[in-house]
Amino acid sequence: MCKDCGCSITDMDHHYDHNEHHHHDHDHGHHHHMHETLHHNPQLNDPKTISVITKILAKNDHEADHNREHFESHGVLAINLMSSPGSGKTALLEAIADAAPFKFGVIEGDLETSRDADRIRAKGIPAHQIQTGSACHLDAFMVHHALHELPIADLEVCFVENVGNLVCPASYDVGAHLNIVLVSVPEGEDKVEKYPVMFRTADLVLITKCDLLPYINFDMAHAKEQARKIKPSVDIIEVSIKDPKSIQNVIQWISFKKSMRS
């Protein structure tokens, strides 16, 4: 029953009826209004279309904002580390542990094992391992759970070492302030172009295992050029854990970003 025009005809007839009226009657606005009312009348067993326009991952994004607030309330800078498996995320954190002037903790994400968290803890750094089972990325809910397992009040920086994967983690905000994306020399410079969504998220790209440059064809200039086509403002540092100066550069970058947020 449509109370605007008082009719009780079926939906189909009603539609045609309105169309007919449009041909004969120039009061389009009025009829349009009646048409809308018909579609939204809950008494009619009629498909109802609602416009939503929300991000599909809105809940994750909301939780990510909550995580960021949580980090900020403790003055902690949170950094999401992303790369393929084996690019050197954990090795980088071990090297940072030996030289960093700031106190940090690590949230580790892997499908199985707590090997990475064990490696970090062996350096005297607090770490919590998330085992995702089969999930190919960390999301904000997993990170939220994990950050309660860390002594966050004692930290200045918290790294989230994401699951090794150049695709899926790019779609999930985990609540970090900055994203560091690693690509190692043996992977090849084309990884930047092949995974643009990931490299688009980067605030800093680290080209790791640079001590292997003499043995591997890796076009450094091309890799940097491609990274800056995808993200013109991105910072890029060449790193080797065998070169303490390069690790210092990473630490300085983090310390600078930290000082700009305090």
Residues that bind another protein (CB under 8 A): 42, 44-60, 135-137, 139, 167-168, 170-172, 196-198, 200, 229-232
Whichever of 9 and 167 has its CB closer to another protein, that residue is 167
Under DSSP, the state recorded for 7 is B
Whichever of 127 and 138 has its CB closer to another protein, that residue is 138
CB 109 within 8 A of CB 120: no
In sequence order, what are the residues at sequence separation of 6 or more whose Cβ sits closer than 8 angstroms to the Cβ of residue 243?
A: 210, 211
CB of 139 to another protein, least distance (A): 7
Whichever of 66 and 200 has its CB closer to another protein, that residue is 200
Q: What are phi and psi of 119, to 5 degrees?
A: -60, -40
CB of 260 to another protein, least distance (A): 21
CB 206 within 8 A of CB 182: yes
Under DSSP, the state recorded for 171 is G
CB of 247 to another protein, least distance (A): 30
Whichever of 171 and 249 has its CB closer to another protein, that residue is 171
Whichever of 35 and 258 has its CB closer to another protein, that residue is 35
CB of 197 to another protein, least distance (A): 4
Whichever of 24 and 48 has its CB closer to another protein, that residue is 48
CB of 101 to another protein, least distance (A): 34
Alpha-carbon torsion (68, 84, 185, 187), positive or negative: negative
Whichever of 122 and 167 has its CB closer to another protein, that residue is 167
Residue type, 56: I
Lookup: tokens for 145: 């759970």
Per-residue buried b or exposed e for 27-40, using 16+ beta carbons within 10 Å of the residue's own CB: eeeebeebbeebee
CB 171 within 8 A of CB 84: no
Q: Give the span between the Cα atoms of 138 and 163, in whole angstroms.
A: 7
Of 82, 96, 128, 114, the C-alpha closest to 255 is 96
In sequence order, what are the residues at sequence separation of 6 or more whose Cβ sits closer than 8 angstroms to the Cβ of residue 240?
A: 208, 209, 210, 211, 246
CB of 19 to another protein, least distance (A): 20
CB atoms within 10 A of CB 190: 14
CB of 11 to another protein, least distance (A): 12
